[in-house]
Amino acid sequence: MQRHVVAVAVADGAPTFELAVPCEVFGIDRSDLVDPWYEMRLCAAQPGPLRTAAGLVVPTSQGLDGLSEADTVVVAACSRAVQLDPPADLLQAVRSAHERGRRIVSICSGAYVLAAAGLLDGRRATAHWMSAMDFSHRFPDVDFDPTSLYIEDGTILTSAGTGSAIDLCLHLVRQDHGSAVANEVARRMVVPPHREGGQAQYARSPVRVRKASGTLAPVLEWARRHLHEQLTVPQLARRAGLSERTFARRFRETLGTTPLQWILQERVRLAQELLETTDAAVESVARRTGFGSATNLRYHFGRLTGVSPQTYRHVFRHRAAQERGGARGSGARAGQGIPSET
């Protein structure tokens, strides 16, 4: 199995946290989970030495030519100067990578570079909610969504501000290696494997916010433990001590979706993990996730993931078997007593 190369394009003055996230997710050797793990390269988008906004020197290993060899190209968040006038070589390198079918990812304000390169015209995209008016004014052909944590439109993915870099990078791991691996990476990072809702939880006006997380958090945790049971909005509203109407309104304001849609998404997510990590029959997975029948599971699973449960299990089981075989063949990490990160 070939190593998946993630190339991060870095310009001078990049925000430190947003740059650190892909380094944490893709740059740390986690071959005890997947062997081989990703290979991450930091590629200079400008002549060096490059520094982060906090003054830390960025040890780039190569220039923009490194993007051409990557499977995934990540454009890191960038300074305001780069947002206003992205380096022409960076724009061309990103266009070329897209033309070759590479997966293109932007972290926060890196979306400005993708938009300036013309990659986001006619697409949905996001960045930090504070950029909504400026971004929409500069790039009117982009369908800018200031409410999402991240957006996937074909092979192009964009993320919102700061912490959303974690959400998007874990989503990429989930795409490549399945929910079980992504969940374990999240556990080691001590972050949620999947955050609920969107930027509306954090934005000031014009995005309206209600602080309902304190009311909803216990209900969400209870619902996750009872996905195998029949769950209704009246039942959840009673547990939250709210009327049905108030509960539904606060749920949408906080999480950006309806209670029933959230339950459906959680059930599919649990089904993914069971399909990856157990030999349970599809009918059994359907009962354990609250779908009741294999027919219902197949319908909702296919609608949300684009594949059938059987196909999903085959893909990730086959991939895991290949990775285990590769590790045995190379003797990698066998008997080395690798400690678990907690």
Q: Does 290 reside within a domain? A: yes
Retrieve residue 249's tokens.
């309104």
SS3 category, 115 = helix
- Overall domain count for the chain: 2
Is 176 found in the same domain as 214? no
**106 φ, ψ (degrees, to nearest 5):** -120, 145
First to last CA, the chain: 28
Answer yes or no: are the C-beta atoms of 70 and 133 closer than 8 Å: no
Task: Give one DSSP letter per residue of 201-232, joined into a string.
Answer: GT--TTS-----HHHHHHHHHHHHHTTTS---
Is 122 found in the same domain as 259? no
Least confident range from 20-24, 281-285, 305-309: namely: 305-309
Per-residue pLDDT, averaged over 40-54, amounts to 93
Q: Does 133 reside within a domain? A: yes
CATH number at residue 94: 3.40.50.880
Task: Please report which confidence band the pLDDT of residue 334 belongs to, taking 50, 70 and 90 as the band edges.
Answer: very low
| Mean model confidence pLDDT for the chain | 86
CA distance 111 to 115: 6
pTM more than 0.85: no
Per-residue pLDDT, averaged over 102-129, amounts to 96
In degrees, rounded to 5, the angle at the alpha carbon of residue 191 between the alpha carbons of residues 5 and 255 is 105
The domain containing residue 226 runs over which residues?
210-321
Predicted pLDDT of residue 213 = 44
Q: Count the helices and strands in the chain (H runs, E runs).
A: 14, 8
More confident residue, 329 or 253: 253
Is 261 found in the same domain as 156? no
Q: Does 175 reside within a domain? A: yes
The conformation of residue 144, written as its DSSP 8-state character, comes to E
CATH number at residue 270: 1.10.10.60
Is 44 found in the same domain as 96? yes
Q: Is 60 left (phi over 0), alpha (psi -120 to 50) or beta?
A: beta
Task: Please report which confidence band the pLDDT of residue 215 belongs to, taking 50, 70 and 90 as the band edges.
Answer: low
CA distance 263 to 299: 15
Looking at the DSSP bridge assignments, the partners of residue 44 are 10
Answer yes or no: are the C-beta atoms of 283 and 291 closer than 8 Å: no
Is 253 found in the same domain as 308? yes
Is 252 found in the same domain as 154? no
Task: Please report which confidence band the pLDDT of residue 322 belongs to, taking 50, 70 and 90 as the band edges.
Answer: low
Predicted pLDDT of residue 277 = 86
CA distance 52 to 49: 10
Is 102 found in the same domain as 132? yes
- H or E element that contains 111: helix 111-116
Kindly report, residue by residue over 219-276, the tens digit of the pLDDT.
Answer: 998 999 999 999 999 999 999 999 999 999 888 877 778 899 999 989 998 998 899 8
